Every structure is written in C-alpha cells, then in structure tokens.
Structure 1
C-alpha cells in the first residue's frame, strides 16, 4: 500500500508524521499544538517565516493593541500574566506567545513554505496526505490549516496607481508615523487598522485623509468601563440579537454622536447582524473619531484614479498627496497550495472558501483553525474541538496500524 513514486517524488526527502501536520505557527497553530500536546498527540508544525507569529512580529504597526480584553484573547490552558493590562500591546502579546510556545515545548520547523498538499486514498480506506515544503515531502494522516485569513496582503487595483510618484505601501509595511511627519497621507481603508493607523499618523504630525467608501459601524471600545464585546456576549445570552444590536447603536449614538455628520454612515443592519452575515467587524474607537470630528483626520470618498501626484475622487474633488497607505486587509492563500476537491478549478490565490474551512473539519482528515471569523477567542475554541477529534481518530488509527507491517512504504 502507498503512493506511486514519480521522479520528482524520488528527489524529495520523505518524512512520515505519526500525528497531524500543522501549517502555520501563529496563534492558531500554537493553540492547536498545545491542545494536542495536552492529549499526548504527536505533531509537526511548518512555518514559512523564521519566527513565531510572523504577522504580529513582522507585519503589524508598533502602536497595535489587542482589540478585545485579554481574557477573550488568551490561548488554551495558559492565561495572560496578571500584570498585563486589559488590552495588551503588540510587544506584550508577542512575549505571551513566546512564553506559550516555551511552556508547551512547541518547536516549529521554520523556513518551510508549503507548496502543495494533496490527499491520496489507500487500499485500507484510511488514506494519507502528502505535503511538500522545500525539498521535503511530509506524509501524514491529518493536516491542520492554521494559516488564518491573514496570510497575504490584499492589494486593490486603482487606475493610474502605477504612475503615482509618491510613496505607496500596504499597512503590513507600516510601523509608525515618524517618517510621515508634515506629509500629506491618504489612508485607504476604514476598518480598525485604517482608523488606528490614521490616528497614529495624526499623533506624529502627518496631515491625514481617510477613504471611507462603505457604510460602517463605529462602537466605543468600552461601555461604562467594560468592553463592548464582553457586554454584547453577555446580553446575547439573555436577549435576541436584534435587541442587543439596538442597544449598542443607541449607546454609540449617545457617546459618539451622529457619525453621518462627518461622512460615516451606519449600515441598515446592526453591528452583530452584519458581522454574522458578511464577517465585517465594527470599528472599536480608540480616539480616531474625535480626530475626525476636529478635522485633524479628513474623511474623503471613493477614489476615481491616481495621477503622478494627485488623487481624483468620485465626487470630482482632486487632491495632492505625498504618500498612500493601503489598509485594505489580508486574504487567505490556502487555495494556492491545498489540492483539495472543493478548491479545484479556482484560480491560484482566490479567497473563495469551501464550506469546510469555515467549519473546522473537512473530509479525509483535513482541519482548519482560525477561519470562523471569531478572532483569537474562536481559534481557541476551534483548537480544543479539533484536538479532541484528532485524538479520538488517532486511537482508532493506532489499532488499525498495529495489525499491519510497515504500512507506509
């Protein structure tokens, strides 16, 4: 039993893994690794970068803090230190992840970028995955996709952007506003990152304009000293979603005012309903809105096109900018390497999801962590459930293997 070998196969070093192969060493990958370790299930983690949590460590801005309280962001079986603030900073969260990996003896294989992952059925009905990274072919019964929705920057196309003479960067390259002091900067994207980068630019003396092309909800991060998220979670246990949405909007209007007066119109659907329907997260305000109201951050509309030094907007206005920061988010890259039936026929890099990836478990021993749109809190819950399921299967699989002689050759 086994795979037929091609010439390319014979040139690869072949490694059999008795447990699951985890792709990605960010928070999701660490969470599932710890849950497997607690159950005595062996695993291997492949990480394309040379560090843990590369998105946080290498591609996030310096002023970033967790958007939710630490008790909603801690990973399984290892709480945050008591002395950490309610909303830990980027540096504190990275330190926490380093301590997490050390505590559970998690040692990823760094510098291994997965090129393909393909399932092959075997005569006994179990089947195995072949995962190629670098010049190594890893063979495993299970694969856990823990790369998340933030594996690759989204770079939208704008007419004329290629001739724009100013500096253009994605938010993944932005660290702080020091280099933009005194410059006129256009931030494209009004999610939490776009809002917070605009605020940081403003604090560093830049002249900031923020593109707001869609309707969006802005909520206070805290309500009467408690997290808006925590309050919403508690209320949903007692009241219907529509009522909780109504309460959030009423309180937001009382504390933040009518945002439509500064060019930010709320959607018809409430923030929780919209999150459930589209995955769009409401902005949790940490000070950006006051700068918008004071005119220190200027709200502008949709972009028509770029010229060598100007930006033309749909409403006919034309402005000159020195720099453009694309806070346009990230996308998954799973479809580019996972050779799985529900991805067949898609273009490489397409972000279209199959149903299994949003529900943690697919067929043939494939799992996902961190794709359910519930952030770190959801990834931790996913990790516990996936580890339990794999542990149960492994016990059955070991019984099957005990009756075979050298079944992997």
Structure 2
C-alpha cells in the first residue's frame, strides 16, 4: 500500500493511476475537501492557461464541450467527476507532522494530526508519495511599515473578484508584470514546443516590470523609483512557501531548506529511499493563471 499526502489534482491523479494498476493506497489531506486550492482559495475568473488537451488528468479526458482553456468552475466540476469516477476517498483534516523512513522495516512511518479530534494518527507503509503541490502555505512579505497601513491587507488566496474592491485604490504586492495580450498568447503557443518554464522566462524578458516597494507610511506606499501613491487595500500576490521539508525526514538528498528539489530534471522527483514527489518540486501537474 502507498500513502499519498495531498488530495489536490496531483494527489487525485496519483490515486487514479494506482487504482488503474490495482495498487491500494490511502490519501491524507489537511483540508476538508479535495482540490482545496481550486475550491476555496482561487479567484472566480481563474482559467487554466494551458490547452485542455495537455491539462487533463490520467485516464479521463475533459468533456468535448469544454473550451480550449478550462475555467475554474469547469475544472472543479471535472475534478469532482474524476473523484467520483475513480471512487477516491481521502482521509480529510489530517495534517502530516512527520514522515520518516525506518531502515529496519524498510517502511515509511507517517504521523498525521486529526484536526477534529486533535489526536495523532500513525500510518506505516512501504511507499510514500508527496503530492502537496507548490501552493502549501500562503506567503506574505514582512515589508517595512506594513503595520502602519490602515486599510485591508489580503493574500491573493483571499481574493475572489473585484466587486468588493471596485471603489478602492488597490495595490498588488509582488513582482508585477505588464504583459500585452499578444505576448501572452505567444507564450501559450511556445509552451506547446518548449518547456513551460522556458516559455515563462521568455515572456518575462519582454514584459514590463514595475518597481519594488521601499517603504509604507500609513496609506502611502513608496516605490524604489521614489514615486509615492496612496492605497486603500493591499493584496499580496507573493505566492507560497513550501513546508514539505519541515516534516519529510530521512531522505536528505531530496529537498533543500526551501523545499525545492536538490536534484535536477528529470531525476528531481525521486528520493534515494523511494519517496516519489508528484508536484511539490516545481514541476506542477496543473498550473494557474
């Protein structure tokens, strides 16, 4: 039997693939639903920015009626159908606190806290598959003067749509690019012929990057080019921090202190003691735009 940590798209895909080969498994998921990033922490107008032909999970294609670029609502519906089709049954609200390999038994010992009972449960199996993704823990930068800001401060995972913010002056914190529609479409086309990260890099090279922030004084935000503007709300689009390396022990060759794979592609996913990582190593199964 295999232990899968995470019930996002890659965790579901792993479960379906194991079922396809009649391999038993258990899924541990810290949220109360599958694909929680898509269902609970994504904005309404989110779409996959890759063609549906290369974005479907294993063993089940998107419906023919779906558009080329699948919307959040459609993707969630597809994931729910996928979930039902393969009869996937995760153990929800299990937060993994430790996973270590026991040399004597040659098995993984995984300890997860049941967030409902607050009890620690132990699972012992031969295989461990980490499918926690890149979006583990929202990251908010600790900027100088941020505590003095009187308005709302949000992470992008809390943003759904602009309705509540339509009368406010908004600052999006992060590496902000101004990209034309034509350049974005070119990047999508290039991703069909070259690695996605290379296409992203090329788009970044030809897009305009706004200056970073130097200081915040109340509602006034000062940029590195000495410009100052007043804002009502700050939305941090600063991404996520991986936390896998904090609880995954016993395979030091796999992750560095930032949770990034030490090994280069194509061996980035495999640990020396048999711990495959589906998508926490920077090669995500599904990407967002």
Per the normalisation by structure 2, the TM-score is: 0.86
Matched, 1:308 2:271: no
Identify if the C-alpha distance between structure 1 residues 65 and 133 changes in structure 2 by more than 3 Å, giving closer, same or farther: same
8 A contact 1:171–1:325 mirrored in 2: yes
8 A contact 2:172–2:235 mirrored in 1: yes
**Structure-2 residue corresponding to 1:130:** 109
**Structure-2 residue corresponding to 1:324:** 234
Matched, 1:78 2:57: no
Per-residue CA shift, 1:48-96, capped at 9, x if unaligned?
Answer: 0010101111111111011111111100010001111111111110110
For 2:256 and 2:74, how far apart are their aligned partners in 1? 39
**RMSD of aligned Cα (Å):** 2.9
Identify if the C-alpha distance between structure 1 residues 377 and 174 changes in structure 2 by more than 3 Å, giving closer, same or farther: closer
Structure showing the higher helix proportion among its residues: 1
3-state DSSP class of the match of 1:40? coil
**Structure-2 residue corresponding to 1:375:** 284
8 A contact 1:335–1:343 mirrored in 2: no
Matched, 1:88 2:47: no
For 2:226 and 2:131, how far apart are their aligned partners in 1? 44
3-state DSSP class of the match of 1:342? coil
| Partner residue of 2:145 out of 142, 157, 160 | 160
8 A contact 2:6–2:132 mirrored in 1: yes
3-state DSSP class of the match of 1:301? coil
**Structure-2 residue corresponding to 1:63:** 45
**Structure-1 residue corresponding to 2:97:** 115
For 2:75 and 2:8, how far apart are their aligned partners in 1? 12
8 A contact 2:134–2:280 mirrored in 1: yes
Between Structure 1 and Structure 2, whose CA radius of gyration is higher? 1
Identify if the C-alpha distance between structure 1 residues 114 and 356 changes in structure 2 by more than 3 Å, giving closer, same or farther: farther
Identify if the C-alpha distance between structure 1 residues 218 and 332 changes in structure 2 by more than 3 Å, giving closer, same or farther: farther
Matched, 1:354 2:257: no
Identify if the C-alpha distance between structure 1 residues 221 and 301 changes in structure 2 by more than 3 Å, giving closer, same or farther: closer
Equivalenced residue count is: 278
8 A contact 2:183–2:203 mirrored in 1: no
CA apart distance, 1:231: 5.0
Matched, 1:229 2:214: no
8 A contact 2:254–2:262 mirrored in 1: no
8 A contact 2:256–2:262 mirrored in 1: no
For 2:286 and 2:223, how far apart are their aligned partners in 1? 39
Per-residue CA shift, 1:218-240, capped at 9, x if unaligned?
Answer: 864436xxxx5355534x5xxxx
**Structure-2 residue corresponding to 1:27:** 9
